[in-house]
């Protein structure tokens, strides 16, 4: 039996500080997760907000293949909201949870263990009125009393739960302890063979992947994880690390996932770009340095025989660069064909918009690579209603002072503004844009990276704007980094103004 991969990038992952995805962005990530062939997509927490509800609903309607799950507390109100959001899903799952640890029951829930047990059973029974596929999570399971945990799991399985989830909610466990807990539950829950054992580990001590693998060794059949390990605090179990650990060490684990590993690198890049969360260079599997060698001894060894210093082949996760060659003379048909080869399905309107961006880029670059096309499409995905469009950027800069003139267009009205700054040309541009829009935005974060190499490399800028105590992520690409910076800022401002 293959290990099931339950992806929570769009639920727990989106709870990362500073991450706020639009419905369009969530849908694009969900479609990519389906190409990755995850078993379950936890699309969100429907009762948390109207945006979360719409995101789950849209994914349930349009994404086929994986199970689509919605999170719910053990209350009828939450379950009703999840059931409504999931009603059009091909394979819906309601994921109900309640805390079982003494500290959570006493201080957060203010309920007795018996009341928690009753709430858990009632929640599972009620969720079964919406779908046969019900998962139950005992929040903070690792710090719960083991025998009480077994009592709860036995009761919810009897009530109809098909998956029981054992979270290390605060990332406190060590692998030996966590594996021992899974074994104890497997040995002491009489009807455990009627449900799939799942685990959800957090990375506060850097042990989420190790704990998840220890759980597999002791009988867990589903791992809950997130792309790039994103999530609250220090994050979740990293999907790519578990997948490649099982693949690379099949000799040890004797188990595999059902993932299409060739889609890992692309999924990682997409999630990083749309969330604005940069991947650290030395991140296992998907970091820029994961397959890089600087040491002369290592380089010599890899040239002679790759396996001297590499236990994995970069091509396994789809890292070989797609040498698509398109240029300014390429037509719409060839452009569409190349995008379809990369896995993009476009409406005519989307094709027209992306093709214009491609032509603009082709005028500046001799050769367009697969990475460039991915960047164009990710930029297209991140766009919202264009309240303001950039018509003109003019910058002059000298040591100590920069001046920027910006023209934005709104409802066919062209608005000009200038600003000076001692902080440089980009700061001056942002100040001029603030004056035009009337928004008092604080630049909380600014990231710059190159999509490809060379002097005509496509640059990517990601900004995070703080407005009324909420963060908005903006993204811009261009061969001109000042233009990319302006586009990113404008993208974030449009998100604020369109409430998307």
Tell me what pLDDT residue 371 has.
Answer: 75
d(CA 180, CA 243): 22
Instruction: Give me Rg for the CA atoms of the chain.
Output: 24
Q: What is the spatial distance between Cα 174 and Cα 52, in angstroms, rounded to a whole number?
A: 33
Tokens of 128: 């079964």
Where do runs of H (alpha helix) occur along 238-392?
A: 239-248, 250-253, 264-275, 296-304, 332-341, 348-362, 370-382
Residue 397 in tokens: 């800069």
Residue 500 confidence (pLDDT): 47
Q: What is the pLDDT of residue 361?
A: 78
Kindly state which CATH superfamily the domain 4-275 is placed in: Aldolase class I (3.20.20.70)
3-state secondary structure (DSSP) of residue 414: strand
What are the DSSP calls for 39-101, one per residue? SEEEEE-TTS-HHHHHHHHHHHHH--SSEEEEEEESSHHHHHHHHHHTTT-SSEEEEEEEE-S
How far is residue 234's CA from residue 196's CA, in Å, rounded to a whole number?
27
- DSSP β-bridge partners for residue 222: 4, 198
User: What confidence score (pLDDT) does residue 111 get?
Assistant: 96
The angle subtended at Cα 497 by Cα 491 and Cα 500, nearest 5°, is 75
The angle at the Cα of 365, spanning 361 to 368, to the nearest 5 degrees, equals 80
Q: Report the CATH fold assignment for 389-498.
A: Double Stranded RNA Binding Domain (3.30.160)
- The count of other CB atoms within 10 Å of the CB of residue 246 is 22
Of 223, 229, 300, 225, the closest CA to residue 255 belongs to 223
pLDDT by residue, tens only, the chain of 500 residues: 799 999 999 999 988 877 889 899 999 999 999 999 999 999 999 999 999 999 999 999 999 999 999 999 999 999 999 999 999 999 999 999 999 999 999 999 999 999 999 999 999 999 999 999 999 999 999 999 999 999 999 999 999 999 999 999 999 999 999 999 999 999 999 999 999 999 999 999 999 999 999 999 999 999 999 999 999 999 999 999 999 999 999 999 999 999 999 999 999 999 998 998 989 989 999 988 887 654 455 555 656 776 776 788 888 888 765 445 577 777 777 778 777 777 777 778 878 888 888 887 777 776 677 777 777 777 777 777 778 999 999 999 888 899 999 999 998 899 999 999 988 999 999 999 999 999 888 899 998 888 776 667 788 899 999 888 888 888 888 888 899 999 999 999 998 888 64
Give the model confidence (pLDDT) of 246-287 as tens digits.
Answer: 999 999 999 999 999 999 999 999 999 899 898 998 999 998
Domain ranges of the chain: 4-275, 293-318, 332-382, 389-498
CA dist 489 and 500 (Å) reads: 15
The Cα–Cα gap between 252 and 213 comes to 11
pLDDT at 231: 95
| Separation of alpha carbons 486 and 219, rounded Å | 52
Single out the residue of 273, 269, 319 nearest to residue 292, CA to CA: 319
Q: What is the pLDDT of residues 224-255, one digit of tens each?
A: 999 999 999 999 999 999 999 999 999 999 99
- What's the pLDDT tens digit per position in 444-498? 999 888 877 666 778 889 999 988 888 888 888 888 889 999 999 999 999 888 8
* Alpha helices per DSSP H over 160-229: 175-188, 208-217
Task: Determine the pLDDT at residue 293.
Answer: 52
pTM of the model: 0.81
């Amino acid at each position: 039996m293959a290990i099931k991969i339950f992806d929570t990038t769009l639920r727990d992952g989106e709870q990362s500080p500073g991450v706020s995805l639009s419905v369009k962005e969530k849908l694009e990530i969900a479609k990519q997760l389906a190409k990755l062939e995850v078993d379950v997509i936890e699309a969100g927490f429907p009762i948390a907000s109207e945006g979360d509800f719409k995101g789950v609903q849209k994914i349930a309607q349009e994404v086929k293949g994986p199970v689509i799950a919605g999170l719910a507390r053990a209350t009828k109100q939450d379950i009703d909201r999840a059931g409504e959001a999931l009603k059009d899903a091909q394979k819906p799952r309601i994921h109900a949870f309640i805390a079982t640890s003494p500290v959570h029951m006493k201080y957060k829930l203010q309920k007795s263990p018996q009341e928690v047990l009753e709430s858990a059973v009632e929640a599972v029974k009620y969720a079964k009125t919406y779908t046969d596929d019900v998962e139950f999570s005992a929040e903070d399971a690792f710090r719960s009393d083991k025998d009480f945990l077994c009592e709860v799991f036995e009761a919810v399985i009897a009530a109809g739960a098909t998956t029981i989830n054992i979270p290390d909610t605060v990332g406190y466990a060590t692998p030996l302890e966590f594996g021992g807990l899974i074994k104890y539950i497997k040995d002491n829950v009489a009807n455990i063979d009627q449900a799939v054992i799942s685990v959800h580990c957090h990375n506060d001590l850097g042990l989420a992947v190790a704990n998840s693998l220890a759980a597999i060794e002791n009988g867990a059949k589903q791992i809950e994880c997130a792309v790039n390990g994103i999530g609250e605090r220090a994050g979740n179990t990293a999907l790519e690390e578990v997948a490649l650990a099982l693949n690379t060490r099949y000799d040890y684990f004797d188990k595999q996932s059902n993932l299409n590993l060739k889609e890992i690198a692309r999924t990682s890049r997409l999630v990083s770009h749309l969330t604005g969360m940069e991947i650290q260079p030395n991140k296992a599997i998907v970091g820029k340095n994961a397959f890089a060698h600087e040491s002369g001894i290592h380089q010599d060894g890899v040239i002679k025989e790759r396996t001297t210093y590499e236990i994995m082949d970069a091509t396994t996760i789809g890292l070989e660069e797609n040498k698509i060659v398109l240029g300014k003379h390429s037509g719409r048909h060839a452009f569409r064909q190349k995008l379809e080869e990369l896995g993009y399905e476009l409406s005519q309107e989307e094709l027209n918009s992306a093709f214009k961006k491609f032509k603009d880029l082709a005028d500046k670059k001799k050769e367009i690579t697969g990475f460039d096309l991915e960047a164009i499409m990710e930029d297209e995905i991140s766009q919202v209603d264009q309240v303001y469009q950039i018509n003109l950027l003019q910058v002059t800069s000298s040591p100590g002072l920069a001046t920027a003139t910006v023209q934005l267009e709104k409802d066919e009205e062209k608005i000009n503004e200038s600003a000076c700054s001692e902080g440089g040309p980009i700061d001056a541009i942002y100040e001029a844009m603030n004056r035009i829009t009337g928004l008092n935005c604080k630049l909380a974060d600014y990231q710059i990276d190159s999509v490809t190499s060379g002097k005509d490399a496509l640059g990517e800028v990601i900004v995070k704007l703080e407005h009324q105590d909420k963060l908005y992520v903006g993204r811009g690409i261009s061969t001109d980094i000042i233009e990319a910076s302006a586009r990113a800022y404008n993208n974030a401002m449009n998100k604020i103004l369109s409430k998307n």
